[in-house]
Amino acid sequence: MKMYFSQSSRENRTLSEKEIARNALLSDLEKTKQALEVAYAGFDNVIEPDLIDCYIYEVNSVLKRYKFLLEQAAALSPLPEENTHPSPLNTEAPLTSLIG
């Protein structure tokens, strides 16, 4: 089988440990978000009291994991290429920006 795409066109750079950790954290966040959606969907579709309790515990558990992962993501410093862009936030006082 012939290869039509050159492998030299790809960047040959290795990921740093920080990038690997960041990618793993983002992957965990996405999986946790999906698990939360599944737990909420299960909760919405049950009428048995024991299953309602089960889904309440599951939702609470996944929410705690999601909160933990968000705190980890906030504590993780941004990658170098993310530091090159200035912050788009308005630093003026709210009234100044409305009046001026």
The structural domain count of the chain equals 1
Helix (H, G, I), strand (E, B) or coil at 25: helix
pLDDT, one tens digit per residue, over 27-75 is: 999 999 999 999 999 999 999 999 999 999 999 999 999 999 999 988 8
SS (HEC) of 36-79: HHHHHHHHHCCCCHHHHHHHHHHHHHHHHHHHHHHHHHHHCCCC
Residue 18 covered by a domain: no
Q: What is the pLDDT of residue 82?
A: 52
Residue 16 covered by a domain: no
Task: Give the percent of the chain with pLDDT over 70.
Answer: 63
Contact in structure between 29 and 69 (CB atoms under 8 Å): yes
- The CA distance from 26 to 48, in Å, is 35
- Supply the range of the domain harboring residue 52: 36-76
Contact in structure between 46 and 52 (CB atoms under 8 Å): yes
The pLDDT confidence band at residue 19, using thresholds 50, 70 and 90, is confident
Q: What is the pLDDT of residue 18?
A: 84
